[in-house]
Amino acid sequence: MTGTADFQVVWNDCLNYVKQRIPAQTFDTWFLPIQALSMTPESLFLQVPNKFFYEWIDGHYRDVLEKALKYVTGNGLLIKYSVLITDSYSKDNQKPSTATENDIITDRLPRTGMIERGTKINEKYIFDSFVEGSGNQFAKAAAVAVANAPGKTSFNPLVIYGGTGLGKTHLLQAIGNEALSTGRAKRVAYVSSDSFTLDFIAATQKNKTTEFSKYYRSVDMLLLDDVQFFQKKEQTQEQFFHIFNDLYQHRRQIVLTTDRPPMELRGLQERLLSRFQSSLTVDIQPPDLETRIAILQKKAEDDKLDIPYEVIEYIATNIRSNIRELEGAMIRLLAHSSLLSVDIDLPLVQKVIKEIMGTRTTSSISIENIQSVVGAFFKINLDSMVGNGRTKEVAEARMVAMCFARDYTNLSLKTIGLYFGGRDHSTVVHACKWVENRTKNDPEYSTKIAEMKKKIVSLV
Ligand code: ADP
Ligand code: MG
């Protein structure tokens, strides 16, 4: 393959290679929208609809693409590839535009200061791209403090814990990125406990444990992700314990993440646990609705995507479990929109969310059911609930019913507002917040809420 005009042939051959190795639907979704733009002796330039797309492809299919290129071009001439990103997402933008230096994301090179061992830090994971909300504020503040003065605060080690997809890895790597970019740490090792364990086993087999341990003892900052994977790995824990002590004594910063509070990390040596417990432990709670909306808005803004507010709100209202799923929903939406060449609007997002939910929550709970259960409980009728009455019972019943409507139906906040006498979506947001606060601070109230919920669910 010599002339640059052959890039279409190369790309088509690559597509054939990939097609045989991944599911048809995946291929259609992710590979059909890609266009080959040009080729140089080093690189094949591809155009994708948006940055999300690029990240998804790069994160999931880079290997297969590289293999395809190697296979097709034989001598490995073209094992590097780049992706062109258009300015903004638009279906009019189908024609390949000319690549400029800034448009092209080239292979990510390891940052200066990063060392071979361990895993590369993702440069996207910085504090600026981490949206703050009530659930993660404290964790972020601690992370920033540690990044600004590694080893010098009393937060050593810092332990961040929280459920899956809530931003632990993001925060952990942001600490590394920040400390490296300000020069406050020169050698940063980021590694998941899994990789640490595998690396240790490999080192043992090759009689290279001294090197292994020397390496980890030489860093300014050790960022260890998902410590729960250390459970029952006695030898690795032993090794880590010594590394930990050594780093600690030399006032090097250690940051750990786990998916549960340190006290609940069964299968970890007592002495290791007691080290963790003497540390600062911060948790990350699931994001509330406003934070979910803010996260999606930030992602859309960062990637120059023009997504209507109601679409963002719809995603944030329906996907609540974690941020990774939120992002996944957005990516799927973009993929659909680019593949079908249709605008991103409410009907499209409803379709996509329905697909994601699958059979998960095809809720048949209606807003009328909710209103009648809550009404009966507070002894008020439907007219009062949707009317203008402001007595304590009426106002409370309305807020509770609105909150349930958000939790149990797939209706957007705007629509819920309409069901309650044409109220604004912000009234619904306020109502949910009020109920959440009240339940948090008042166990008796929380029991009442639980009873109502039980009743509602039993009606289905
Ligand atoms: P965890 O390690 O807790 O499972 P991650 O750090 O991998 O979660 O986060 C999952 C995804 O959600 C990542 O893409 C991350 O960038 C994003 N994310 C998490 N929290 C936030 C936040 N507060 N603001 C913006 N993006 C976030
Ligand atoms: Mg993680």
Decide if pLDDT at 172 tops 60.
yes
Mean pLDDT of the chain: 83
Highest-confidence segment of 142-146, 338-342, 444-448 = 142-146
Structure pTM? 0.63
Ligand with the closest atom to the CA of 229: 2
Give the residue, out of 192, 324, 326, 331, with the most ligand 1 atoms within 8 A of its beta carbon, to mutate for a pocket test. 324
Closest approach atom of ligand 1 to CA 323: 12
Ligand with the closest atom to the CA of 293: 1
Residue 17, classed as helix, strand or coil, is: helix
- Which of 268, 167, 147, 159 shows the shortest CA–CA distance to 224? 159
Q: Give nearest CA residue, ligand 1 atom 6.
A: 167
Structure token pair of residue 451: 């009873």
Residue 291 CA to ligand 1 centre (angstroms): 12
Distance CA 282, CA 152 (A): 18
Structure token pair of residue 33: 């929208």
Tell me what percent of the residues of the chain surpass a pLDDT of 90.
39
Q: For each of the domains in the chain, give its residue range(s) and CATH number, in order of start.
A: 4-108 (3.30.300.180), 127-284 (3.40.50.300), 289-357 (1.10.8.60), 367-458 (1.10.1750.10)
Structure token pair of residue 339: 């593949």
Structure token pair of residue 366: 């209606």
pLDDT tens, 53-96?
A: 677 777 778 788 888 888 888 766 554 655 555 443 333 333 33
Q: Between 381 and 107, where is the model more confident?
A: 381
pLDDT for 6? 80
pLDDT for 51? 63
Give the residue-averaged pLDDT of 99-103. 35
Evaluated on CA atoms 300, 301, 307, 309, the torsion sign reads positive
Give the residue-averaged pLDDT of 178-197. 93
Q: Give nearest CA residue, ligand 1 atom 20.
A: 167
Q: Give nearest CA residue, ligand 1 atom 14.
A: 324
Specify the DSSP class assigned to residue 315.
Answer: H
Decide if pLDDT at 99 tops 70.
no
pLDDT for 117? 66
pLDDT tens, 362-411?
A: 456 788 889 989 999 999 988 888 888 888 999 999 999 999 998 888 77
Residue 27, classed as helix, strand or coil, is: helix
The continuous run of DSSP H or E covering 85 comes out as: strand 80-85
Structure token pair of residue 311: 């679409």
Residue 304, classed as helix, strand or coil, is: coil
Residue 323 CA to ligand 1 centre (angstroms): 6
Ligand with the closest atom to the CA of 190: 2
Residue 441 CA to ligand 2 centre (angstroms): 30
User: Contact at 8 Å (CB) between 281 and 159?
Assistant: yes
Q: Give nearest CA residue, ligand 1 atom 11.
A: 324
Rounded to 5 degrees, what are φ and ψ at 48? -120, 160
Closest approach atom of ligand 1 to CA 291: 23
Q: Kindly report the three-state secondary structure assignment for every residue of 347-386.
A: HHHHHHHHHHHCCCCCCCCCHHHHHHHHHHHHCCCHHHHH
Ligand with the closest atom to the CA of 324: 1
Q: Give nearest CA residue, ligand 1 atom 1.
A: 165
Tell me what percent of the residues of the chain surpass a pLDDT of 70.
86
Decide: residue 128, CB within 10 A, 0-12 exposed, 13-18 middle, 19+ buried: exposed
Give the residue, out of 127, 322, 323, with the most ligand 1 atoms within 8 A of its beta carbon, to mutate for a pocket test. 323
Residue 193 CA to ligand 2 centre (angstroms): 11
Protein residues with CB under 6 Å of any ligand 1 atom: 129-131, 136, 162, 164-170, 295, 323-324, 327
Residue 285 CA to ligand 2 centre (angstroms): 14
pLDDT band at 170 (very low <50, low <70, confident <90, very high): very high
CA dihedral 222, 225, 229, 233 (to 10 degrees): -10
